[in-house]
A and B are shown apart, each in its own frame.
Chain A
Amino acid sequence: MLKLSGVDSYYDRSHVLHDFSLEVPDHGILAVLGRNGVGKTTAMKTIMGLTDRATGSITLDDVDLSQATTHERARAGIGYVPQGREIFPDFSIRENILMGCFARPDGVRRIPDLVPHLFPYLQDNLDRPGGVLSGGQQQQLAIARALATDPKVLLLDEPCEGIQPSIVEEIENIILEINKKHGIAVVLVEQNVEFARRACDRFVIVEKGHVAASGTPEDLTREVVHTYLSV
C-alpha cells in the first residue's frame, strides 16, 4: 500500500519532516496522531507533493511516486481531503464532486455511486453552490470529491475538526463505511484519540517532524497518550 520511508520535507528553507516513515496497511486505516504543529498536515501535503521540496521514498503499491507531480499522485490513486476542506465555494456541489474525476485515468466524469448512499443531502442539492453548505456538509463534499478520484487510499486531514458534535459521529461512520465496506485504505489525521483507537488498524505518533511511536490500537495505552498527546 502507501509507504513512506526516510522522507525529509521542506517549506522553503525550513526543514519540517525528518526521516519520516510510515506504512498504510492494505485496505486498512492508519491513524496519524500528535499534538498541534508537529508536522501531521505537512506529512499529508508531502504525500500529495504539495510542499516545496521533499526527499526520500514515497511508493504506492510499489510504484515510486517520490518524483511525481501532484496531479500524477492523484491519478495514481491518492485521494486528498485537506484540513479546512478547501472546497470551491462558488462551484456547484455537482461541479465540486466532478472536480475529483479529473484524477480518473479512465476519464469517466460522473458522480460516484457511493455518493447518493453516503451523502443523500449532497445528492439532493447538486445544483446549489458549495459555499452555502454548513461545515459538516462541506466536509462531506470534500470526501465525496476525493471519492470521485476513484482512490486506492484516502488522506483525511482532521475530518472532524470544527464540526458540530452531532455531525461528528455521522462523519466518523462514513469514514468507517468507506474503509470497511468499500475497501479504500485511509490515512486518518486525528486529534480524537478515542475515535482513532476505535477506527484504526495501526497508528503512528508524530513529534517534531518524525515518527516517535507506532503500533496497533492496543499499543495506544494511557502512558503513550500521556507522553505524546496530552497537552
Chain B
Amino acid sequence: MVDTLFIGLSLGSILLLVALGLTITYGAMGVINMAHGEMVMIGAYTTVLSGIYLGANLLVAMPIAFVISAGLGWAIEKVLVRRLYGRLIDTLLATWGVALVLQQAVRLEFGLSFLGIHVEGLGPGLQNVDVPDFLRGTITILGTEVNGYRAFIILVTVVMTAVTWLIMNRTPIGMQVRAVMRNRSMAAACGIDVARVNALTFAYGSGLAGIAGVMMSGFKTVFPDMGAPMVVDGFMVVVVGGVGSLLGAVAASGLLGEINGLVAAVTNDILARAVVFGTVIVVIVLMPRGLFSFKGR
C-alpha cells in the first residue's frame, strides 16, 4: 500500500512541476501555453545530450535543462506571446504552433535516422537515459522498500516547490508577480514593469518544466512528442487546483497523481486515466473556480 501511494506521489510530483509553471503563467499573464509540454521534452533531450557530450549524469543535467528551457521560454515570450496579451484563444493557437515547430525541429534533428541525420550515440528517435547508480536501488521508508529514483523525484519536487513558494511570497519580484496576477493595471500604476515580470515568469515556468523533463527522462522513453500529454495533465491540475494558486497546484497534483496511482494498481492504466478525468469533471462542476482560488474567473 505504501508503495502504491509512493508511486502516486511521484507521478503527482512530475505533474506538479509542470503545473506550477502553467498556473503561474496562466494566472499572471492570461496565456494558455500549449508549448509548455515541449519544455518538458526539451528538458529530457537536454539530459540525453548532456549525457552524450558532457558525460554528465542526471543531476548535472538538471541546472543545464533549467537554463536551456527557461531561455527558450523567455525567447518565446519576447518574440510571440507578448504580442498576444489579452487574446486568450490566440495564445492557445499560437503556442500550439510553437509546440508543433519544436516537436518537428527535434524530430528532424535527433529523431529520423532514415534521413541520415544522426547524432553519435543517439538511437533512431527514442532515447533512454541511465539513472545514476546511487539512485537505482531501493530505500526503506515506513518499513516498505521503495524505488530510490521515485524518492529522488519527490525530493526534487519538494525543493523546487519550496523555492517557488519562497520566491513568490518572500521576495520583491514574487510580490510583483502576485500583484500582476491580481490586478495588472494597478500593478503597473504602482511602478511594476509588467512586461518584464511577464517575461521572467514565463522563463521561470518553462525552466521548471525543463526540470520535470529531466526527471521524466529517468523512467520514460525520450521522444519528440513526449511533452504533448503533459500539457493536458498540467492544465487539469491548474483548473482543479484553482488558477494562480500554488497551494491548489500542490493539492490537485497530489490528488490526481494518487488517484492515478491507486486505480492503476488495483485495475489498469486505462481505467485510472478515466477515473482521473471523471474526478476533474466532478471538481469543475462542483467548484468551477477550483479547490483554492483567490479570484473568480
Chain A residues within CB distance 8 Å of chain B: 48-50, 69-71, 74-75, 80, 82, 86, 88, 90-91, 95, 98-104, 109, 145, 149
Contact of A82 among B172, B175, B186 (CB under 8 A): B186
Q: Is the pair B294, A90 in contact by a Cβ cutoff of 8 Å?
A: yes
9 interchain residue pairs of minimum CB distance: A103-B191, A70-B188, A102-B191, A74-B191, A80-B189, A99-B190, A86-B186, A102-B192, A71-B193
Question: Number of contact residues on B: which range applies?
Answer: 10 to 19
The distance in angstroms between the C-alpha atoms of A219 and B54, with both chains bound, is 80
Q: Is the pair B189, A70 in contact by a Cβ cutoff of 8 Å?
A: yes
Q: Is the pair B179, A99 in contact by a Cβ cutoff of 8 Å?
A: yes
Q: Nearest chain A CB to B293's CB is how many angstroms away?
A: 11
Q: Nearest chain A CB to B177's CB is how many angstroms away?
A: 12
Asked, given contacts A71-B194, A90-B294, whether A50 binds B175 with beta carbons under 8 Å apart, the answer is no
Contact of B191 among A71, A82, A90 (CB under 8 A): A71
Q: Is the pair B183, A48 in contact by a Cβ cutoff of 8 Å?
A: no
Residues of A within 8 A of B186 (CB): 82, 86, 88
Q: Is the pair A149, B190 in contact by a Cβ cutoff of 8 Å?
A: yes
Q: Is the pair B188, A104 in contact by a Cβ cutoff of 8 Å?
A: no
Contact of B188 among A69, A90, A101, A109 (CB under 8 A): A69
The distance in angstroms between the C-alpha atoms of A86 and B187, with both chains bound, is 10
Minimal Cβ-Cβ distance residue in B for A49 = B188
The distance in angstroms between the C-alpha atoms of A149 and B192, with both chains bound, is 11
Q: Could you tell me which residues of chain B, from 35 to 62, have a CB within 8 Å of some CB in chain A?
A: none
Q: Is the pair A70, B179 in contact by a Cβ cutoff of 8 Å?
A: no
Contact of B189 among A48, A95, A101, A104 (CB under 8 A): A48
Residues of A within 8 A of B190 (CB): 71, 74, 99-100, 102-103, 145, 149
- Binary flags per residue of B5-48, CB closer than 8 Å to A gives 1, else 0: 00000000000000000000000000000000000000000000
